[in-house]
Amino acid sequence: MKVGFIGLGAMGSAMASNLIAAGHHVTVWNRSEAATEKLASLGAKVARTPDRAAQGDVLHSMLANDQSVREVFLEGGLLEAMDPGIVHVNHATISVALARQLAEEHAKRGLGYVAAPVFGRPDVAAAGKLNILVAGHAAAIEKAKPLLEVMAGKLWPMGDAPERANVVKLAGNFMIVTAIESMAEASVLARAYDVSAADFIALMTSTLFASPVYQGYGKSIAEQRFTPPGFALPLGLKDVLLAQEAGLAAQVPMPLAGVLRDSLVEALADGGQSLDLSGLARVSERRANLQQRKK
C-alpha cells in the first residue's frame, strides 16, 4: 500500500518503521529533516514538504499537540493538497473540540478521517504492540485496518465519532498521571520511615498494582531514572489540561485533575521540561524535604 507518515518523534518513527518492514511504500515528512534519516536508510522516501507525503492510499500523522495539528493540516492547507479518496489516520492526542473540527473539515472535502490515538511507549511502538483506539466511518477504518494491525497488539473500536477515541485517550492518560502521583506520594511516605522506594515499589507492583503502568513508571521512580523521556512531562500536563477542558464541556467534575495540574506545573517550574512523566516524583520528594531531613 502507498502510505504517508507525518510526525517522526520517538513514537512516529517507530510506527513508520514497522510499516516499512511490512513491505508498504512509505513516504515520510517531519519538520526536522534529521528525523527522517533513519527511516530513509530503511527504505522510506523522504518528502520535502508535507503535501508530498499526502499522495497515496493512507496518510498517518503523529504530531505533538493541537497546535501542531492545526498548523500542518488546517492553517498549512494540507487538506486541500491531499489526494481524493485518501484516508487520514490521526494518532495524535488532541482535544475533543479539535477532533470534531477535523472530522468536519475532512468530510467537507470528501476525505476519510480516522482518529487512532495509541497507548504504549516507544519501545512498545517499536515492537508493534500498541493498543490503538479506532473511531471513524467504517469504510475509512476498513481501508486503514491492515496498516493499523501492523502497528498494534490490539485495535479497540470506539464507534463512528472520532472524538470518542480521543476522549478515551485523554481519560486513560489522566489515569496514568494519577498512578504516578499516587506512587510518588506513597513511596515518599515509605522513605520517610526508612523503607527504600525500590523495596516499596517492588512490593506494590508485584502484588496490588501488578500492571504495566505501575511497573514501568514505578521502576523509573525507584531508580530515580527520569531521562530519556518515553512520555515527556510537558505532554502529561497538556493531556491533563485537555481532560479538564473535555470535562468542563460535558459538565463532568474532575477534582483530581486540578491536583495533578498543579503538581505538573511545579515539576516544570523546577526544570522538568526534558524529563519523563515519572519525573513528577521529584515534586513529592521536594515537598517532603527528604534530602534535608536525612542530613
How far is residue 76 from each of residues 8, 67, 73, 174, measured CA to CA in Å? Answer: 18, 12, 6, 31
- Tell me, what amino acid is at 266? E
Peptide bond before 162: cis, by omega within 30 degrees of 0?
A: no
pLDDT of residue 84: 85
Q: How far is CA 120 from the centre of its chain?
A: 8
Distance CA 2, CA 79 (A): 18
Per-residue model confidence (pLDDT) at position 83 = 85
Closest CA to 112 of 137, 79, 146: 137
Helix (H) / strand (E) containing 252: none
My answer on whether 174 and 102 are in the same domain is no
Identify the CATH number of the domain in which residue 83 sits. 3.40.50.720
Longest Cα–Cα distance in the chain: 67
Q: In angstroms, rounded to a whole number, what is the distance separating the alpha carbons of residues 156 and 118?
A: 10
**Strand pairing class (2-6; 25-29):** parallel
Shared domain check, 224 and 116 = no
Distance, CA of 157 to chain centre: 18
Q: For the full predicted model, state whether its pTM sits above 0.85.
A: yes
Q: What are phi and psi of 59, to 5 degrees?
A: -115, 120
In sequence order, what are the residues at sequence separation of 6 or more whose Cβ sits closer than 8 angstroms to the Cβ of residue 188? 197, 281, 284, 285, 287, 288, 290
Contact 29, 36 (CB under 8 A): yes
| Grid coordinates belonging to 171 | 481519560
* Same domain, yes or no: 151 and 252: no
Q: Are residues 124 and 259 in the same domain?
A: no
What is the tally of structural domains in the chain?
2
CATH number of the domain that 213 lies in?
A: 1.10.1040.10
Residue that the C-alpha cell 467504517 belongs to: 138
Same domain for 188 and 255?
yes
156/129 Cα distance (integer angstroms): 13
Q: Where is the domain boundary, 141, 160, 179? A: 160
H/E element, 128: none
Residues 132 and 16 in one domain: yes
Residues annotated as catalytic (active site), given as ranges: 169
Q: How is residue 229 annotated by DSSP?
A: -
Task: Verify that 16 and 53 share a domain, yes or no.
Answer: yes
What's the CA gap between 243 and 171, in Å, rounded? Answer: 7
Q: Looking at 126, 160, 194, which one is the last position of a domain?
A: 160
Q: Which of 49, 138, 48, 140 is nearest to 86 (CA)?
A: 140
* pLDDT in the model for residue 290: 82
Q: Which of 144, 160, 176 is the C-terminal boundary of a domain? A: 160
Write out pLDDT tens, residues 3-60.
999 999 999 999 999 999 999 999 999 999 999 999 999 999 999 999 999 999 999 9
What are 264-280's pLDDT values in tens digits? Answer: 999 999 999 999 999 99
Of 28, 33, 32, nearest to 12 (Cα)?
28
Tell me how crowded residue 154 is: count the other CB atoms within 10 A of its CB.
10
What pLDDT score does 295 carry? 56
SS3 of residue 208 by DSSP: coil
Residue 121 is part of which domain span?
Answer: 2-160
What the block records as the C-alpha cell of 16 is: 513508520
* 12 and 146 fall within a common domain: yes
Instruction: Extract the residue ranges of the chain whose pLDDT is less than 50.
Output: none
What pLDDT was estimated at residue 179?
98
Q: Do 203 and 98 fall into the same domain? A: no
Q: Are residues 156 and 188 in the same domain?
A: no
Same domain as 285, residue 198: yes
Q: Are residues 178 and 133 in the same domain?
A: no
